[in-house]
Structure 1
C-alpha cells in the first residue's frame, strides 16, 4: 500500500485554498477557524488521531497565504486607481508571452505583467503588483522579460490581478529581456524553424508537444484533440517534462554520469525546461507533476511518488493558491494520482492474462482517464469514449515527437540543416498523432453529451468511483475485459438516436453555441441553409448532427467577428457544403482568414436585394446597402455590415438580423416600412443598443436570443426583453434553454427547447 499521509497534506492545502477563493471572506475565516479548532480539540481529547494535525496545518497555512495575496491585490494603489478609471504612467515588466485574442472591435494583444512603479493623480508609488495588459493590435509586441514605461488607462479587474492595463501611447523600453529569456526564445524559434518545411498541422503540433507553443494550431484540429482526450498533448504538462528530463538522464548515463551528478543533471534539465516553456504558474505546476512522475518511476515508486505528489501540491499552493481553482491544476493532480495509485493494481490484474507491456500500456491511460473524467465533463459537458484508445495509439509517437523536436531545435542553433534532419522524425510522429486525433473524432460516437449540472456530475463521479472498485476484477478476467471492450466498441460505432429530435415540423434551429450565432433553416430532408457558425467548431458540428443535417447548399456568414465564423470548420466537417456567402466588409481580417483556412476559399458576396429559393427556404438579402451608407460611424462597422435576411420556410416568416446596431436598424425601418414577421432573431445577442420601436413594430410572435451563459456583456438586456414582451413576443434564450427549434403546426408557430 502506498503511504497516503503526504497526500492528505496536499488535500488539506487544496481545501484551504478553495475555502478562501470560493467563499466570502468572513465565511471562509469562520470555516478555517472552526476546522482548526475542531482538529486541535479532537487531538487533545484523543477523539481523532494526531495525524490529522498535518492536513489541518496545511489547510490553515494555504488559507492564510491566499488571504494575504487577495488582501495585497485588493488594497494595491493600482486597484484604487482602476476603480476611478485613472490614466497613469506605469513601469512594468512583461511576465508572459503576448497572445492575440479577438475583441468586440478587433484583435487585442494580451499579456501578464508586473508593475513596479505607478504615477497618477498627483502621487507616485513603488510596488510589485500583477496586472493584465490589453493593448490594441498595432501596439508594439514586447517579448517576455522586457521592462518598459507607458501611459495607460486602468480598468478594474477580478481575480488575482490588481488591474487591467489599457495602454494609450507608444511604450518606452527601459530594459531588454535577460539573457536566459533570450536563450529560451532562441530555442523556441529554432524548434519552429526545424519543422518549418513540414505539413502545416505537423509544424504547429511539434512546438506544442515540446514547449506548449500551440498558438498557430488549427482550431478544428484542436477540437479533435479535445474530443479524443488528447488535449494534454497541446499544453505544457508533466508528460513533457518526464520525456525531456528522462531523455537527458538516459543521455547522461550513456556518457558515464552517475550518483549525485545524475540528480544535478536532472535539476538542470528541469530548470531548462521551465525556462524554455516559460516560468509561469501553469508551467511550474506541470514541471512539479512531471518530477513526481519521475520519482514514481524509481524504486518503491508508488509510495515515494504518492509522498512527492502530496508535497508538490502543498508547495505549489503555498506559492500560488489560485492554482486550486484552475482546471489544469486539477487535471494534472488527478491524472498523476490516478497513474500512481490506480494504474499499478490494474496493471497487475491485466498481467494475469496479457504481457506486461500490454498491461502497462492499457492501465496508465485508463487510470488517468477515469481519474480526470468528472473534471473533463464539468469543463466540456462531454465524456470521451475514444480517449483511452486514442492515447494508446498516440503514445508511441509522443516521445519521439517531443524529444527529437527539442533536439532538432537545440542542434539547429549550432547548424540549421542538422536541426532540420533531426527534427524530421518528430514531424512524422506528429503526423501520426494528428491522424489518430482526426480519425478518433470521426468515430460516430466519439463522445457523449453529459451535461455540467450538479446532478449529472455527481452521477458521473459515482460511476467513476464504482469503476475504480470493480476494475481489478473486470480487468483480471479475459472474458469480462473483452466483453467490456466489445460493448464500448459497439457504442462508439453506432450513433445513438436522440429521441424526438429534431422535432416534427421544424423550420428554424438556433443552436446553443455559447456567446455567438449559429442558425439553421430547414431546406429539406437532411438539407439546411446555415447562417453563421458560432465561435467554436464542436458545438456547431454537434448541433447539425443532432438535426441530422448532412448537406448545406448555402452557408451565409453575416459578418466576420469570431463569435459568428469561428465554428465554420464544424459546418464543413463531414458535410456537403455548396455556396458560401458573406458580407462585403472584410473586417476583422483574422475572421476572414479563419474562414478561408476552414473552407479553402474566400466566400462570395451576398447580393443586396437578391431573392432566391434553396429547397424549402426562400431568402431575401435586405442589408447591407452596396454603398455602405446609412449607419452611424461611431458604432461597430463590422456589426452594421451584417447580412440581414428575411426568410420563409413552410409559410413561417423569419427575420435574421446578425449584429446590426441601432442606426442600421433605423435604416431598415425606413427601407422596409410595414415589415411583419413571425419570428425575430434578436440582433447582437440581446445587446441593450437597439432600436426598440422598430423591433416592436415587427409583430413577431417569437423572439429568439442566441447568447452565452454567464457572458461578460450583460446580454440580453432586461429593458430589451421587457420591450419585446410588451410588444407581444414570447422570448426564448439559448443560455437558459439550450438549442431552440421553431416548429410550424396547424398554422401556428412554437418553440421546442432541447434543454
Structure 2
C-alpha cells in the first residue's frame, strides 16, 4: 500500500486459478535444471511442458488485470497502510469471534446428546467440524468481498459519471498540457501532466483510467510535468519516458517514478513504445537535433488509433517552436505526405510555434491547451487566423474545459468532459 496505493480486486480468484499449476511448473523446472546437467536431451521437453503452465498463469494475470475495477485506488501513503491494517484486523476479529461461538454450539449439542441418551430419545446430530470451518471461511470471504465492493463503490462515487466513448482526451490543467489516449478500457497513454496534480487526477478519474501504460513528459517545463503526482495518485504506472535538453530530472518526476517502481527513460526518435492497439512513433528529437532550447527538446509523437476504415493519425507536438518544426518537416519528408487527422497545436497556440505544421499537415481538428484568460495571450490571434483560413476546427480547453475526442466513421466528435 505504501509503494502502490491500489487494491487488487481480483487477486484472490487469480491465485485460485493459478495455484493448481504452480507445483507442476516448479517440479518440471527443477527436473529441467537437473536434466541440463545429466541428460540434456530431456531438458527441452521438460521446459516445453512447464511452459504450458506458465502460459496459463500469465493468461490468468493478463485477463484479470484488465478487468473492470481490477486495481481499485486506495488511500496513498501511511493512511492507506493504516486502513489496510484495520481491514485485516477486522477480518481476524471476525474469525476470533466466530471460533468460540462454534465451540459453544458444539458443547451445547454434546450436552443435549448426553441428555437425550439418558432419557432414551434421539438427540440432534452434532455439527461436523468441517462444516463449521466451511461456514466460517465462507463468512470471512463474504466479508472481504463486501469490503472490497464498498471500496470500489466509494471510488466510483468520487470519480463521478463515466465518460462517453472516447479515443483521446485533453485535460483542462490550466496553462499547461495534459493529454490522455485510451489503449484498452481502464488503460491509457498519458502525454504530459500539466502544472496541477489535482486537475490531472480529476480528469483521469472522470475518464476511469486506472492503469497508465506509459507516461510521456514531452519536456521538462513545470506546466508539462508539475502535475505528475496526480497522474500516479491511486493508479498503476507501467513506464515513464521524458525528453529534455537538460541533465537530471525534477524531484517531482523522480518521486513519482520511485513510488511507482519504474525507471525514467529519456526518449528520442530511436525509442520504441509498445502500446498496442495504438501505434506510437517518436519523430522528435532526433539524435542529432540541437536541444539547447528546452521547448525544442519536446518529444513529438505520431499516434495511430485503429478505426474501421483507416487508422486515425494524431500528432502531439509539446512546445515545439517554429525552427524545430521546420527541422522536423525536413527530417521526416513523409510526414507532410501522410498528413494527420488531429494536430495538437504546439506551445498552447503561442506565436513562436509558427504555422508550418498547420499548413503542411492539413488536420481535420486542432487541439489547443491553454488556461482561461492566461497572462501570455495564448492562443495567439495569428495562430487562430491560420486555422480559420485553412478551415480547421479548433477545440480549446480555455473554452470547453476538459474534453474528449471520439472518431466515429468520417465524423470527429468533441464532447466536454463532465
Q: TM-score range by the shorter chain?
A: 0.5 to 0.7
Q: State the partner residue of 1:495.
A: 157
Structure 2 residue 265 is matched with structure 1 residue 604: yes
Q: State the partner residue of 2:206.
A: 546
Q: State the partner residue of 1:508.
A: 168
CA distance in 1, matches of 2:274, 2:407: 19
Tell me if structure 1 keeps the 8 A contact 2:159–2:208. Answer: no
Structure 2 residue 393 is matched with structure 1 residue 730: yes
Q: Relative to structure 1, is the Cα distance of residues 438 and 714 closer, same or farther in structure 2, using a 3 angstrom cutoff?
A: farther
Q: State the partner residue of 1:643.
A: 299
**Structure 1 position 529, deviation (Å):** 0.6
Q: State the partner residue of 1:387.
A: none
Residue of 221, 232, 235 corresponding to 1:575: 235
Structure 2 residue 382 is matched with structure 1 residue 719: yes
Residues 32-82 of structure 1, C-alpha deviation per residue, up to 9 Å, x if partnerless?
xxxxxxxxxxxxxxxxxxxxxxxxxxxxxxxxxxxxxxxxxxxxxxxxxxx
**Structure 1 position 738, deviation (Å):** 0.8
3-state SS of 1:560 partner: coil
Structure 2 residue 272 is matched with structure 1 residue 627: no
**Structure 1 position 585, deviation (Å):** 2.3
| Structure 1 unaligned residues grouped into runs of 5+ | 1-433, 441-488
Q: Relative to structure 1, is the Cα distance of residues 578 and 697 closer, same or farther in structure 2, using a 3 angstrom cutoff?
A: same
**Structure 1 position 594, deviation (Å):** 2.0
Q: State the partner residue of 1:408.
A: none
CA distance in 1, matches of 2:82, 2:299: 36
Residue of 648, 656, 661 corresponding to 2:316: 656
**Structure 1 position 753, deviation (Å):** 1.7
Residue of 552, 560, 579 corresponding to 2:220: 560
**Structure 1 position 525, deviation (Å):** 0.8
**Structure 1 position 707, deviation (Å):** 0.7
CA distance in 2, matches of 1:515, 1:544: 18
- Name the TM-score, length of structure 2 as normaliser: 0.59
Tell me if structure 2 keeps the 8 A contact 1:685–1:707. Answer: yes
Tell me if structure 2 keeps the 8 A contact 1:666–1:691. Answer: no
CA distance in 2, matches of 1:553, 1:754: 22
3-state SS of 1:689 partner: helix
Q: Relative to structure 1, is the Cα distance of residues 491 and 583 closer, same or farther in structure 2, using a 3 angstrom cutoff?
A: closer
Dislocated runs of 4+, deviation >3 Å: 434-440, 489-494, 496-499, 609-613
Q: State the partner residue of 2:411.
A: 748
**Structure 1 position 696, deviation (Å):** 2.0
Tell me if structure 2 keeps the 8 A contact 1:569–1:599. Answer: no
CA distance in 2, matches of 1:497, 1:608: 36
Tell me if structure 1 keeps the 8 A contact 2:189–2:213. Answer: yes
CA distance in 2, matches of 1:438, 1:660: 42
Structure 2 residue 368 is matched with structure 1 residue 705: yes
Residue of 231, 249, 252 corresponding to 1:594: 252
Q: State the partner residue of 2:117.
A: none
CA distance in 2, matches of 1:604, 1:666: 26
Q: Relative to structure 1, is the Cα distance of residues 508 and 439 closer, same or farther in structure 2, using a 3 angstrom cutoff?
A: farther
Q: State the partner residue of 1:682.
A: 345
Tell me if structure 1 keeps the 8 A contact 2:268–2:284. Answer: no
Q: Relative to structure 1, is the Cα distance of residues 439 and 692 closer, same or farther in structure 2, using a 3 angstrom cutoff?
A: farther
Residues 259-293 of structure 1, C-alpha deviation per residue, up to 9 Å, x if partnerless?
xxxxxxxxxxxxxxxxxxxxxxxxxxxxxxxxxxx
CA distance in 2, matches of 1:528, 1:439: 30
Residues 394-440 of structure 1, C-alpha deviation per residue, up to 9 Å, x if partnerless?
xxxxxxxxxxxxxxxxxxxxxxxxxxxxxxxxxxxxxxxx8569989
CA distance in 2, matches of 1:597, 1:560: 15
Tell me if structure 2 keeps the 8 A contact 1:557–1:581. Answer: yes
Q: State the partner residue of 2:275.
A: 614
**Structure 1 position 638, deviation (Å):** 0.9
Q: Relative to structure 1, is the Cα distance of residues 492 and 639 closer, same or farther in structure 2, using a 3 angstrom cutoff?
A: same
**Structure 1 position 557, deviation (Å):** 0.8
Tell me if structure 1 keeps the 8 A contact 2:163–2:417. Answer: no
3-state SS of 1:648 partner: strand
3-state SS of 2:173 partner: coil
3-state SS of 1:608 partner: coil
**Relative contact order (C-alpha < 8 Å, sep 6+): which is higher?**
2
Tell me if structure 1 keeps the 8 A contact 2:159–2:205. Answer: no
Q: Relative to structure 1, is the Cα distance of residues 656 and 439 closer, same or farther in structure 2, using a 3 angstrom cutoff?
A: farther
Tell me if structure 2 keeps the 8 A contact 1:699–1:728. Answer: no
